[in-house]
A and B are shown apart, each in its own frame.
Chain A
């Protein structure tokens, strides 16, 4: 079922289509252009966590030479929307306007300057005088849930998703299968624990950057580092009161996104300023702004209550998620929904209860980040499985093997919980989880005695299981256009958005496979709302599975057109013609190279072989992962050294082994930070204390341990050539696997991550004092 299935493109390590130009440092990213008269924009941010913006005096700033424009809420019409960057209708509250009347966190937009240079813009910011009416701020999520006298959002959300106007609730979920309370009373053992998850940031190395201008046809052109060009065009049209036809969004190469570029963080500002000034406007976040005013993985507190029988059978499982969305509620409902929906089905107990309270606070904003809620849920559930096993006196691997989801099982939660509406039932039609566990155990040396490298150190191993989805069932869709050129090459235009993960290459492989041509003969154009068909964009692990399906369909249509043309001249049935090895071959030894076929179609038959196809799936098949960590802990200092991480991943057919491994390895490095050292720290007033890479550490080459990545191939019947998603599932398991390994080494559990040396050391110290 692998590449050897006589596929010439799918399953092979073809050259990544954009790799060389990136390795040459070519000018391909948003900021690698300049336009005559281009202005630089800078944002004045609120120093108060909660304050009404009564009056902004911009006269001194405007008087400064080189300043073209300054805007604040009086200058921009307040149209409620969400910046989440999701499909319409969005499942996020419309709680945002371009320029707010009230600052809701330290860092919220107060005014924006556009000037000839960045230095002038910075200088102008200092000349703006703001009159604030300071309001009491709520920076604690429990306080936010309790209090109704202080509201982060005083207006009701027009969609009725959040509790704006009445409470600080941004999203609430209460879904139950069976009856957990009743079932818990029948269990031999009930284990309840609380887990704490930190605020972490995506930290793509290219910051948010957009350039907007008005072209010669009076259209607004937005060149931007985004994951969602088509959603962006729709949202901009609405909030700028323009039609979509007046806006073009161009996505050049993107320097990493990881969910953080799903949101409209800067595009609305450059658009407003370009329209007002008639000049090109550029706005790029500083790294400090990335860590203050972009988006975080939601910090959560998760209470797990699990009932089991003596033999380890899980009878009831409850997950209660308390989450902080910060000042705005984009992704509040859906990220928190995923925390249970993508995670709890791993152990499909007959009684499952999933509860969410996600609140607004006056903290900076949480949003989408790779894994989208699942890393939090997976940490809680997989830590908890070890706790349950320990209480039961049962082997932790055995407990998992006894309860995990299997082929043909129905995911108990997905039908109850879609993206803010009723979802679709999900049946597991492919799974390599058992094989992943077997191969992962072997690679880590599970069950073998491991000696520490020095007598004062402690060594331990841990594991975690994870599952995710492949797109949003019944919601995500994409389209592709394939067009044949004279020389037998094709243009492949897709709305799908390559942000570095390599989707242009994967989609080119699918196209090449269907047409029987080499991948390098496929010229990919991704994401320009004028030139490519629609796609929801790069999120929810959807591109390979959903957009890939569209490419396969479009390429097949073109192949059928060619077969028809050739069939009429060769006097055979279209179905008798085979396309392989860059040739078309018919009965009786008839044969033409693809270039000859193209010339024949274009100049004899006089048709343009070309097709567009759309694809949507009512399924979201889960990719699976079994991940393992081997660690050494110094009890004297609390220092943890990860010696090895093993990831065994089932992503269906592996379309490009090296790219798939790269997805796993990058995810593991991000998860390593989540487990051990990454945390955006806020003081009590909601101010970020570490907004730079020196104090907010992400993994460097010296931090990452040796990694073993095993791709367990399965054949997903609903996926293009059997493929499922790979991008998100491997970020879920490493953190619980590492913390489980620490616990295995020293006998003390970290219920709170990151498991910094101080936290590990304190845990050990408290346990020995008891």
Chain B
């Protein structure tokens, strides 16, 4: 079947297998930041934004995204907030094997963009759907808290894709 979606701000038409999940379709379209970890919606490695909301793309039917907006990490590489999150993850040593990093970045991005509270506990909640076996979450949280402090301290920046 044919679906039309807005992928990273561009209208795309794509032929899909009706039973395909969004994860496999996005990877087939070259969106390699979207990682397969469990295919049961438990690990968060395949997190993308669907109409601005973070979802596990492995448990979303690709057909369901017809006439919807899908945003992957590839679509946010120029976004100032995303760049700041990436820089802090790198600086704090939060990227070990890196396999969960795109999912973590998308979850944090969505949490910040939604204007949610930025305490340690709220940031842990934002990350609780993203399993990481390397870092023990210490450095990812440290990075997120640093961005939170910068955001709260500095002028409120608006914009960016979502």
Contacts and interface: CB of A to CB of B under 8 A. Distances in A.
Given A207-B36, A692-B42, A701-B141, A22 B101 contact: yes
A626 interface: no
Contact of B96 (A28, A662, A694, A707): A662
Contacts of A693: 38, 40, 42-43, 131
A667 B96 CA distance: 13
Contact of B98 (A18, A286, A670, A702): A18
B90 interface: yes
A669 B98 contact: no
A16 B35 CA distance: 21
B35 A704 contact: no
Contact of B139 (A205, A287, A665): A665
Contacts of A694: 40, 42
A701 B122 CA distance: 10
Contacts of A438: none
Interface in A201-234: 202-207
A425 interface: no
Contacts of A16: 90, 93, 95
A700 B131 contact: yes
Interface stretch (A294-302, A323-331, A495-503): A495-503
B98 A204 contact: no
A742 B9 CA distance: 53
Nearest to B129: A700
Interface string A248-261: 00000111101000
Interface in B112-161: 123-125, 127-141
Contacts of A23: 86, 89-90, 95, 98, 101-102, 105
B101 A25 contact: yes
Contact of A666 (B34, B45, B133): B133
A205 B101 contact: no
Nearest to B105: A23
A6 to B, nearest CB: 24
A373 to B, nearest CB: 20
B45 A205 contact: yes
A661 interface: yes
Given A253-B97, A500-B97, A693-B131, A658 B92 contact: yes
A603 B7 CA distance: 51
A20 B134 contact: no
B4 interface: no
Interface residues of B, number: 53
Contacts, number: 174
**Would you call the interface of chain B mostly helix, strand, loop, or mixed?**
loop
B112 to A, nearest CB: 16
Contacts of A701: 123-125, 127-128, 130, 132, 137, 140-141
Contacts of B124: 701-702
Interface in B76-119: 77, 86, 89-102, 105
B99 A256 contact: yes
B132 to A, nearest CB: 7
- Chain A: number of interface residues, binned into ranges: 35 or more
Given A205-B131, A665-B136, A666-B134, A25 B95 contact: no
A255 B89 contact: no
Interface string A340-352: 0000000000000
A205 B44 CA distance: 10
A324 to B, nearest CB: 24
A202 B89 CA distance: 24
Contacts of B37: 205-207, 287
Interface in A636-670: 658-659, 661-662, 665-670
A275 B160 CA distance: 49
A683 interface: no
Contacts of A207: 36-37
Contact of A19 (B98, B99, B131): B98
B33 interface: yes
Given A205-B99, A255-B97, A500-B97, A666 B136 contact: yes
Contacts of A449: none
A15 interface: yes
Q: Which of A205, A692, A693, A700 has the most CB of B within 10 A?
A: A205
A690 to B, nearest CB: 12
A256 B133 contact: yes
Interface string A701-721: 110100101000000000000
Contacts of B42: 287, 692-694
B32 A287 contact: no
B74 interface: yes
A289 to B, nearest CB: 11
Contact of A255 (B35, B77, B86, B139): B35
A119 interface: yes
Interface in B24-78: 30, 32-40, 42-43, 45, 72-74, 77
A25 B136 contact: no
A23 B140 CA distance: 12
Nearest to A670: B133
A600 B162 CA distance: 53
Given A205-B133, A659-B93, A669-B136, A27 B99 contact: no
A13 interface: yes
A699 interface: yes
Contact of A704 (B30, B32, B94, B138): B138
A662 B93 contact: yes
A119 B21 CA distance: 12
Given A20-B86, A20-B90, A205 B35 contact: yes
Contacts of A456: none
Contacts of B94: 662
A284 B86 contact: no
A253 B102 CA distance: 15
Contact of A203 (B97, B105, B133): B133
Given A692-B42, A693-B42, A693-B131, A499 B97 contact: yes
A26 interface: yes
B133 A204 contact: yes
A446 interface: no
A24 interface: yes
A244 to B, nearest CB: 28
A286 B128 contact: no
A659 B94 CA distance: 9
A287 B39 CA distance: 8
B134 A253 contact: no
A665 B133 CA distance: 10
A27 B32 contact: yes
Contacts of A253: 97-98
Q: Which of B35, B72, B95 has the most CB of A within 10 A?
A: B95
Contacts of A15: 90-91
Please provide the 9 A-B residue pairs with the shortest distance between their CB atoms, ordered closest to farther. A25-B33, A500-B97, A22-B98, A255-B99, A658-B93, A669-B136, A693-B42, A665-B136, A701-B127
24 contacts: A18-B98, A20-B90, A23-B95, A25-B32, A25-B33, A25-B101, A25-B102, A29-B99, A205-B99, A206-B35, A206-B99, A253-B97, A255-B98, A500-B97, A501-B97, A658-B93, A662-B94, A662-B134, A669-B137, A670-B133, A670-B136, A694-B40, A702-B128, A704-B137
Given A23-B89, A25-B33, 10 more contacts: A20-B86, A22-B98, A24-B33, A24-B73, A205-B131, A501-B97, A658-B139, A661-B138, A665-B139, A709-B138
